[in-house]
Structure 1
Amino acid sequence: MKFKSRVSLSLLSLLLYASLAMAADTQLGSVAPGAAPAPVNSGVKPAAETTSGNSAAPSPAVAEAPAPKPDTVTIRLNAPLLSPKFSSTPLAVVNDDIITFEDLKSAIGMIHSGMGTEQAAPKKNFADVLKRLVNVRLMVQEARNIGLDKDEQIKPAMDEFKKQLLRDTLLNEQVKDIAADEKDVARIARERSMEWRLKSLVVGQLSTVKAFEAEIKAGNPFDKVYDSFVSDGRGKKGGNVEEFIARDAIDPTMLVALEKLKVGDTGKPVAIEKGYVIYRVEEIRTKDDPKMVEQVRQELTSQRRVAALKKFNDSLVKKYVKMKKLYKTLDYENKKIPFEKLLKDNRVIAEIQGEKPLTVADFSDAVSAKFFHGVKRAIESKKVNKEKDAILEEILSGIVIDKEARLRRIDQTEEYHNKVKSKEDTLLFGQFMQKVVVPEVTITRDETKAYYTEHAKDFISPASYLLDAIAFYSPEKAEEAVNKLRTGTDFKWYKANAEGQDSISTRYEAFFEGNPVALDELPAKMKQALSGSAKGDYRPFVDGTIGYVLAVVDYQAPAPLPYETVEGVIREKVSYMKLNDNIESWSTKLRKASEVTVYADFTQQEKP
């Protein structure tokens, strides 16, 4: 069957080796049509050929000749990497432990990533990935050989993993087909990506707002009234009328009003720190933002799945649990009943079909664990009774979900066993690294200093700025201020006396607190505004309707970092390098003592 796959790297070239008997006349002589050739090198003479009930004598030449040595036939298989039909195809065998396509996909992070056979696979050196898989298998096998699988840290971790895997598998099965309604996704994404272009006026007094509104009610056009208020100084332009403003840059109170307005509508005046903003909607647009759409899709899908899981959980509780009236009478804040007494109370509060009943003592123990800072303090603060229903729901959910998973035999599936083995292998590899490989790694100061010398260009301090700023109600005002400051006006005096100032956004306050700020820490637009600046420069910066003057108080160019400053980082780098070397050494040693067969041939792997 021909696959439709157009996946980059999808046709992964493999060599599958098989010892096949060759029915060549030159080796075995003639074979009658329809007759099966004798197995080669089997140690058994060919059976006599039977036709219509008559036995034919075997050829003396074949019977007496020694069995020929079989040829090895190499078959190259073009296998789509992401096709599930090849998931179990072996790529390598490590002491009878098979590494499959599925293992390779898992290693490169493509399982459960939503990728189909038509999509592009990630750019990876698959030969290196497979080599690492082989090395890991060798170390895991060695970990078992030296008894690390009996380590006391492994069993409890595996028990918890198996328990959680059962639950996750069952719950995932309930929601795997649940997705967001695409109509809702499109609608909400559109709303969240809306941008507005506004014509706004900033005024200082409420009386001025009322005067503006009165003229509008009298029938005067908005533009005419706007221009008159600007010209006589009663108001100031509130930003660039040609600039669109994203919703995340708009005051939440104003945003609520904006979302209800249409183009041409005038919004209700919005109070700001130093007056009011009067505005009209000039234009509304939405951006095509695939990331926003995907974010909304995930949010809505999550909401629907949570609701479905709640419904499923409630159905299991109803199916398996019978609550006793005793539960409702439990009062953990009753001072007449010591909590210690409840920890020994074996009365049943819930009967669970086929399971151990839940007693007051069991429940009280869970309550105690919930308030690990002290249940007595929680009782005194009257927090326990408020939380007891939630604690009960958590307990019962765990019990009934575990029960349902076992009844559905999830723990007997191949997928479950593969995941358990994979987890155990991961833990064993970690133990082998921690107890065998890592202890052999040692680092000297001479080595770290040598690394510092060889990689000096990697240890350079980033460029940094010491900044100050003035915010204005409009970008035009900020441009005007920049021009004045560049002609010699004192910055501190201007900041104290300039008119039309606004408050610096809380998003930017940290950049102007008198501490050096690395260039990479600045927002992209601010970095762009400061590009090429030096000490003493002034640059305009616009954020929505607010204009800023950025004052470069000081500038530090990139410079080499002292060894003492980066010694810790270098030790980590050198340690990582030596650790990899040690891993490679162990892998080589284990490989020599093992039987490793690699079937995959990546030399003709399709390139993306």
Structure 2
Amino acid sequence: MLYGYHVRNILKPDPKEVEKRYRVAVKEVKVASVLFDKEEDAKRLEVEIKAGGKFELLAKKRIDAGEAKGSVEGQYVKFGTLSPEAAKAVSNMKKGEVSPLIRIGKQFSLVKLAAIRYPKEKTARAQAEKEALQAKRVAALKAYSDGLRKKYVKIDRKLFDTIDYEAAEPGFEKLRADRRVLAAVKGEKPVTVGDLTSALEKKFFHGAEQAAGGKKLNRRKDQVLEEILNRRVTIKEAKLQKLDRTKYFKGKTAENSNGILFGAFVKKVIVPDVKVGEEELKSYYQAHIGDYTFPEMVRIDSLAFSDRKNAEDAIVKLRTGADFQWLRENADGQADPARGKNLLEFRGQLLDTTTLPDGVTKAVSGTEAGGYSLHADPGNAYYVLALRERIPSRPIPLESVKGEMEKKVFAEKLQRVLRDWEEKLRKASDVKIYATGKKLDRIVTPLAK
């Protein structure tokens, strides 16, 4: 409680730390990659690229020849979803660079970094703020704890380093009875070798001797000594600061007591009567089927044009048999990616329709697989959308989500039962209401000010 009291006024995180954590969380990289089974094939490509060859052309040649798998059409992925090996390589790259050969398990990869972006995500920012505030408090507590240790404690490090719980001699029994002072605590009883030994013994359910045989005791002695000393110095400091007389202490004590009593009441009296039946689960499943449904997925290719006429002409040509790839390479009026940083690009990826821009979802909503549609974004571009595949939304099988649903249904029933108990207790108690509505507002508002 002393530590909580110390950081009670740290309420805002460091903005720089928030931004740092946020950017790590939302970072997306646009990468093109190829994966080889044979190291020699990958090395040949690496040599050709270092000699000045173009990654896209050389990699596509290997993919077409069946030597490699992958795609030269870059797509954005969350940086955090990359394999550790790829992430390490990409983190040191600049836009446009190709990685050195990356070993991933038994395979070998080369990656080109096309772009980096940091999308806006409210949830990620809120989490970054929460983590940054926690980190700020932890740092303050560490500094405070170190200060207390420096103020009150002196450890005999030479003695500490000689204690070997895994050696045959002097043995655990003798160390448990050892009264040599391991750490002096100013104004308090010292910590002895025996104190450390007894505390360490309590950490192992199957006994210290078995832990010694497993070479676990010496690894834990530092941690256990820290726990003993932290407990001693916090209690001493709390007494000196008269923490027990503060509003903070009294409020926390009452809060903890009430929480323990209420938790015990709920566990013993209410929870045993809350049951979830099979029919209830089925009813909940049907009522919330939208929450337990795989989203509709679509596979789209796109062309971006600077004006509507060229886009509409392209659709006419496609519907009369023109080859999509040929149009990508030859059609006039296509938007220049270098001039429109917000251009959309779809290269045959399978996409969740709920994540697509509204205009794209609307444009393909009435299109059958193999069809073409127009998505207009005036001032930016006009898109020809080729719908390659549509996978309809479908319910997730009940059995797959049964465990998750049971927890939700139980929680909801428990809340209803608690509300019923609340109403019963109100009726059984002498509750007087002195003010409601506007009268209550007139009383509370001046106090709030």
TM-score (norm 2): 0.59
How far apart are the structure 1 equivalents of 2:228 and 2:140?
A: 19
* CA shift in 2, pair 1:209/1:341, >3 Å: closer
* CA shift in 2, pair 1:239/1:417, >3 Å: same
How far apart are the structure 2 equivalents of 1:584 and 1:465?
A: 37
Q: 1:181-260, aligned counterparts within 5 Å?
A: 182-187=15-20, 189-201=22-34, 205-213=38-46, 215-216=48-49, 219=52, 221-222=54-55, 225=58, 233=65, 238-239=70-71, 241=73, 243-260=75-92
Question: Structure 2: which amino acid aligns with 1:419?
Answer: K
Question: Structure 1: which amino acid aligns with 2:226?
Answer: E
Aligned residues: 353
Equivalent residue number for residue 176 of structure 1: 10
Question: Structure 2: which amino acid aligns with 1:584?
Answer: E
Q: 1:475-554, aligned counterparts within 5 Å?
A: 525=352
After superposition, the C-alpha distances for 1:108-151 in whole angstroms (9 at most, x for unaligned) are: xxxxxxxxxxxxxxxxxxxxxxxxxxxxxxxxxxxxxxxxxxxx
How far apart are the structure 1 equivalents of 2:259 and 2:435?
A: 24
Q: What is the CA-CA distance between 1:197 and the residue it aligns to?
A: 2.8
Question: Structure 1: which amino acid aligns with 2:4?
Answer: D
Q: 1:581-600, aligned counterparts within 5 Å?
A: 581-591=420-430, 596-600=432-436
* CA shift in 2, pair 1:424/1:210, >3 Å: closer
Equivalent residue number for residue 314 of structure 2: none
* CA shift in 2, pair 1:210/1:178, >3 Å: same
Q: 1:190-589, aligned counterparts within 5 Å?
A: 190-201=23-34, 205-213=38-46, 215-216=48-49, 219=52, 221-222=54-55, 225=58, 233=65, 238-239=70-71, 241=73, 243-271=75-103, 276-323=108-155, 327=160, 329-430=162-263, 457-458=283-284, 460=286, 525=352, 577=416, 580-589=419-428
How far apart are the structure 1 equivalents of 2:129 and 2:154?
A: 38
Q: What is the CA-CA distance between 1:395 and the residue it aligns to?
A: 0.5
After superposition, the C-alpha distances for 1:222-254 in whole angstroms (9 at most, x for unaligned) are: 5554566567x3667733725322213433322
After superposition, the C-alpha distances for 1:473-522 in whole angstroms (9 at most, x for unaligned) are: x999xxxxxxxxxxxxxxxxxxxxxxxxxxxxxxxxxxxxxxxxxxxxxx
Question: Structure 1: which amino acid aligns with 2:213?
Answer: E
**Which secondary structure does the structure 1 equivalent of 2:427 belong to?**
helix
Aligned partners of 1:197 and 1:243 also within 8 Å: yes
Question: Structure 1: which amino acid aligns with 2:173?
Answer: E
Task: List gaps (5 residues or longer) in structure 1.
Answer: 1-164, 467-473, 477-522, 530-537, 540-547, 561-565
Question: Structure 2: which amino acid aligns with 1:281?
Answer: L
Q: What is the CA-CA distance between 1:399 and the residue it aligns to?
A: 0.8
**Which secondary structure does the structure 1 equivalent of 2:187 belong to?**
coil
**Which secondary structure does the structure 2 equivalent of 1:243 belong to?**
strand
**Which secondary structure does the structure 2 equivalent of 1:350 belong to?**
strand
Equivalent residue number for residue 16 of structure 1: none
Q: What is the CA-CA distance between 1:568 and the residue it aligns to?
A: 11
Aligned partners of 1:238 and 1:277 also within 8 Å: no
How far apart are the structure 2 equivalents of 1:275 and 1:398?
A: 52
Q: What is the CA-CA distance between 1:582 and the residue it aligns to?
A: 4.3
**Which secondary structure does the structure 1 equivalent of 2:73 belong to?**
coil
Aligned partners of 1:178 and 1:305 also within 8 Å: no
* CA shift in 2, pair 1:183/1:176, >3 Å: closer
* CA shift in 2, pair 1:524/1:457, >3 Å: farther
**Which secondary structure does the structure 2 equivalent of 1:397 belong to?**
helix
The CA RMSD over aligned residues, in Å, is: 5.2
* CA shift in 2, pair 1:365/1:241, >3 Å: same
How far apart are the structure 2 equivalents of 1:256 and 1:220?
A: 24
Aligned partners of 1:460 and 1:559 also within 8 Å: no
* CA shift in 2, pair 1:361/1:408, >3 Å: same
Q: What is the CA-CA distance between 1:374 and the residue it aligns to?
A: 0.7
How far apart are the structure 2 equivalents of 1:558 and 1:406?
A: 59
Question: Structure 1: which amino acid aligns with 2:114?
Answer: E
How far apart are the structure 1 equivalents of 2:239 and 2:221?
A: 27
Aligned partners of 2:155 and 2:183 also within 8 Å: yes
Aligned partners of 2:60 and 2:71 also within 8 Å: no
Question: Structure 2: which amino acid aligns with 1:183?
Answer: K
Question: Structure 1: which amino acid aligns with 2:235?
Answer: D
Q: What is the CA-CA distance between 1:406 and the residue it aligns to?
A: 1.4
How far apart are the structure 2 equivalents of 1:452 and 1:250?
A: 43
* CA shift in 2, pair 1:327/1:600, >3 Å: farther
Equivalent residue number for residue 470 of structure 1: none
Q: What is the CA-CA distance between 1:273 and the residue it aligns to?
A: 7.3
Aligned partners of 1:201 and 1:235 also within 8 Å: no
How far apart are the structure 1 equivalents of 2:217 and 2:36?
A: 54
After superposition, the C-alpha distances for 1:73-116 in whole angstroms (9 at most, x for unaligned) are: xxxxxxxxxxxxxxxxxxxxxxxxxxxxxxxxxxxxxxxxxxxx
Equivalent residue number for residue 601 of structure 1: 437
Question: Structure 2: which amino acid aligns with 1:405?
Answer: A
Q: 1:57-76, aligned counterparts within 5 Å?
A: none
Aligned partners of 2:60 and 2:72 also within 8 Å: no
**Which secondary structure does the structure 2 equivalent of 1:598 belong to?**
coil
**Which secondary structure does the structure 1 equivalent of 2:238 belong to?**
helix
**Which secondary structure does the structure 2 equivalent of 1:396 belong to?**
helix
Q: What is the CA-CA distance between 1:570 and the residue it aligns to?
A: 8.5
Question: Structure 2: which amino acid aligns with 1:169?
Answer: Y
Q: What is the CA-CA distance between 1:291 and the residue it aligns to?
A: 3.6
Q: What is the CA-CA distance between 1:394 and the residue it aligns to?
A: 0.9
How far apart are the structure 2 equivalents of 1:425 and 1:373?
A: 35
Q: 1:144-155, aligned counterparts within 5 Å?
A: none
How far apart are the structure 1 equivalents of 2:165 and 2:28?
A: 54
Q: What is the CA-CA distance between 1:384 and the residue it aligns to?
A: 2.3
Q: 1:79-118, aligned counterparts within 5 Å?
A: none
After superposition, the C-alpha distances for 1:126-180 in whole angstroms (9 at most, x for unaligned) are: xxxxxxxxxxxxxxxxxxxxxxxxxxxxxxxxxxxxxxx344324x25x827843
Aligned partners of 2:27 and 2:116 also within 8 Å: yes
Equivalent residue number for residue 311 of structure 2: none
**Which secondary structure does the structure 1 equivalent of 2:71 belong to?**
coil
How far apart are the structure 1 equivalents of 2:406 and 2:67?
A: 59
**Bigger radius of gyration, 1 or 2?**
1
TM-score (norm 1): 0.46
Equivalent residue number for residue 481 of structure 1: none
